[in-house]
A = this chain, B = another copy of it.
Amino acid sequence: MGILDGKKGIIFGALNEQSLAWKVAEAAHKEGAQFTLTNAPMAMRLGEINGLAEKTGSKVIPADATSMEDLNNLFEESMEELGGKLDFILHSIGMSVNVRKKIPYPEMNYEYQHKGWDVSAVSFHKVMQTAWKKDAMNEWGSILALSYIAAQRVFPDYNDMADNKSYLESIARNFGYYFGKEKKVRVNTISQSPTMTTAGIGVTGFGGFLGYADAISPLGNASADDCANYCVSLFSDYTKMVTLQNLFHDGGFSYTGISKEVMDHFIDDKL
Secondary structure of the A contact surface, majority rule: helix
Copies in the complex: 4
Shortest distance in angstroms between A254's beta carbon and chain B's nearest beta carbon? 8
Contact at A171–B180, with CB atoms within 8 Å? Answer: no
Contact at B208–A269, with CB atoms within 8 Å? Answer: yes
Contact at B269–A215, with CB atoms within 8 Å? Answer: yes
Shortest distance in angstroms between A252's beta carbon and chain B's nearest beta carbon? 4
Scan residues 197-223 of chain A and give those whose CB is less than 8 A from a CB of chain B: 205, 207-212, 214-215, 217-219, 221-223
Per-residue contact bits, chain A 78-116, to B (CB 8 Å; 1 contact, 0 not): 000000000000000000000000001111101001100
Residues of B within 8 Å of A207, CB to CB, are 267, 270-271
User: Is A176 an interface position by the 8 A CB rule?
Assistant: yes
Contact at A153–B106, with CB atoms within 8 Å? Answer: no
Segment of A11-19, A37-45, A48-56, A126-134 engaged in the interface with chain B: A126-134
Per-residue contact bits, chain A 222-266, to B (CB 8 Å; 1 contact, 0 not): 110011011011001111111111011111101111111011111
What 8 pairs across the A-B complex have the smallest Cβ distances?
A: A180-B218, A211-B269, A222-B241, A166-B170, A207-B270, A153-B257, A233-B238, A244-B255
